[in-house]
């Protein structure tokens, strides 16, 4: 049984998810994980180059399974922050593959040792703000057809809502449209403190915005 909280940060590309996840992990001394294990980073470009949604779906599903085992071990020693997890995989690929992947999601959940987080932090922003942020960073990093481009061209928010409806865990929505990282972090701490009263594994954590 895990001893520490497991928090997943989800959201559209450009919403500010990674910035907030990294800040939270640092302030609370949680272990921070990106979605792709180091062992698979070397084939990421090859998978992306296929332009095949089914290939990226299987790739990120494998990433989720591998990370799941890492999280189970790490949660004996510290809290875990995951920057994307199964929710992103299914929300984005439901749109790319144009099919309902609910059955596949439930199949993954049925695995006895598959971990679901204690809380999902769903980071959002207005579409114009997301568009501008993606445009700004695309000057340095190419737009991904399975990530950034989906955020620009599809209603990913509705897809996320469908996936979130399949689990019975708290979903905290943090809107960064008019917030800088510190403001968003303060709001997040307030919301986590609020739900900690009914989520036992969170009770031992001091969710203070002034944590250093």
Decide if 212 is inside a domain. Answer: no
Distances (CA, A) of 21 to 17, 93, 153: 6, 22, 25
Decide if 1 is inside a domain. Answer: no
On the 0-12 / 13-18 / 19+ scale of CB atoms within 10 A, 155 is exposed
| Model pTM score | 0.94
Decide if 156 is inside a domain. Answer: yes
Decide if 196 is inside a domain. Answer: yes
Rounded-to-integer distance, Cα 181 and Cα 104, Å = 35
202: pLDDT confidence band, cut at 50, 70 and 90?
confident
CATH for 127: 3.40.50.300
Decide if 210 is inside a domain. Answer: no
Count of structural domains, the chain:
1
pLDDT tens track for 14-68? 999 999 999 999 999 999 999 999 999 999 999 999 999 999 999 999 999 999 9
Decide if 144 is inside a domain. Answer: yes
Decide if 209 is inside a domain. Answer: no
Q: Which structural domain range is residue 135 located in? A: 6-202
Decide if 207 is inside a domain. Answer: no
């Amino acid at each position: 049984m895990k001893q520490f909280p497991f928090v997943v940060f989800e959201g559209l590309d450009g919403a500010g998810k990674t910035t907030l996840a990294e800040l939270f992990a640092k302030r609370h001394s949680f272990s921070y994980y990106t979605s792709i294990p180091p062992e698979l980073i070397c084939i990421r470009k090859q998978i992306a180059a296929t332009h095949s949604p089914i290939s990226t779906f299987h790739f990120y599903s494998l990433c989720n399974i591998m990370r799941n085992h890492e999280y189970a071990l790490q949660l004996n020693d510290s809290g875990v922050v995951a920057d994307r997890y199964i929710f992103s995989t299914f929300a984005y690929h439901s749109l790319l593959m144009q099919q309902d992947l609910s059955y596949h999601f439930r199949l993954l959940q049925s695995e006895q040792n598959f971990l679901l987080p204690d809380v999902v932090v769903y980071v959002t922003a207005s579409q114009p703000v997301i568009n501008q942020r993606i445009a700004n960073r695309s000057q340095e990093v190419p737009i991904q057809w399975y990530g950034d481009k989906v955020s620009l061209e599809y209603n990913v928010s509705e897809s996320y809502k469908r996936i979130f409806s399949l689990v019975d865990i708290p979903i905290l929505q943090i809107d960064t449209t008019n917030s800088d990282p510190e403001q968003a972090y303060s709001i997040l701490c307030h919301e986590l403190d609020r739900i900690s009263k009914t989520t036992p594994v969170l009770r031992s954590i001091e969710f203070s915005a002034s944590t250093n």
